Structure 1
């Protein structure tokens, strides 16, 4: 049974239960398996040797999640091709593909955790009450070490974009 953490995050002002461990800076990044927009499996190892910004959102089709994904998409140009940006949500791969096409998102890999909530359970972002991911950002260096963690305390708030981008630049 996975660890459960109650009340660390709120959703619309209401405390939720996060399933999975609280990730800490310095630890080895946990492996996970999600689906890309063509329903093919993707893991942390799929981007081995790269610095990874993992932007976690409840649903791409909401205002803050949309803005968060666009912000990281814009930042990608200044980070170089040794940094990859992954946006993970519980949205279906079909929804993610359609959203990316409509939004013109080309620098971010949108990945779906809808099948097993593998990412959410490994990174402690799975909101049990809603079967969605909470808002969070992780930066993982090229040797699979976690160098930045932010669990946004209220899901309806933006993460600290600048701190995550700076952590990715510092990991280079």
Structure 2
């Protein structure tokens, strides 16, 4: 049974339970299997040897999630050779449609709907809602976690600048 962290964050002001361990800077990045928009599997190893900025959102169809994904899409120009993933529980078909409508081309949206593999590995699965919490992780070329942000209130924005700077630093390392 996966670890549960009650009251780790709030969602619209209500305390919720996160399933999975809290990932910390310096940890080996946990593996996961999510689905790309074409239903092919995507794992941590799919981008082995590259710096990864992993943006986690409850749903791309909401205002803050939309803004977060667009912000990291814009940042991609500054993060040459980094892989930028946006993980949500949205169905792959919905993610694909949203990306096309939003003009998102630098961020790869991936879905955790099938197994909640990412959510439970990174401690981001909201038990009460079966959605992912909001956060950002940076993983270096050696699969070490170099930046972690669990946004305390799931409807708030993450610290974009801190995450982008952490990714830039990982690219130099």
TM-score, normalisation: structure 1: 0.99
* 1:88-103 paired onto structure 2 within 5 Å: 88-103=87-102
Cα distance in 2, alignment partners of residues 115 and 18 from structure 1 = 18
* 1:12-161 paired onto structure 2 within 5 Å: 12-81=12-81, 83-161=82-160
Cα distance in 1, alignment partners of residues 105 and 96 from structure 2 = 11
Cα distance in 2, alignment partners of residues 43 and 79 from structure 1 = 20
For structure 1, list consecutive stretches of 5 or more residues without a partner in the other structure: none
Cα distance in 2, alignment partners of residues 10 and 125 from structure 1 = 12
Please report the RMSD computed on the Cα atoms of aligned residues, expressed in angstroms.
Answer: 0.4
How many matched pairs? 171
Dislocated runs of 4+, deviation >4 Å: none
Cα distance in 1, alignment partners of residues 6 and 162 from structure 2 = 26
Cα distance in 2, alignment partners of residues 36 and 45 from structure 1 = 14
Cα distance in 2, alignment partners of residues 44 and 67 from structure 1 = 25
For structure 2, list consecutive stretches of 5 or more residues without a partner in the other structure: none
Cα distance per residue 1:7-65 (max 9 Å; x no partner): 11000000000000000100100000000000110001000011000000000000000
Cα distance in 2, alignment partners of residues 14 and 89 from structure 1 = 20
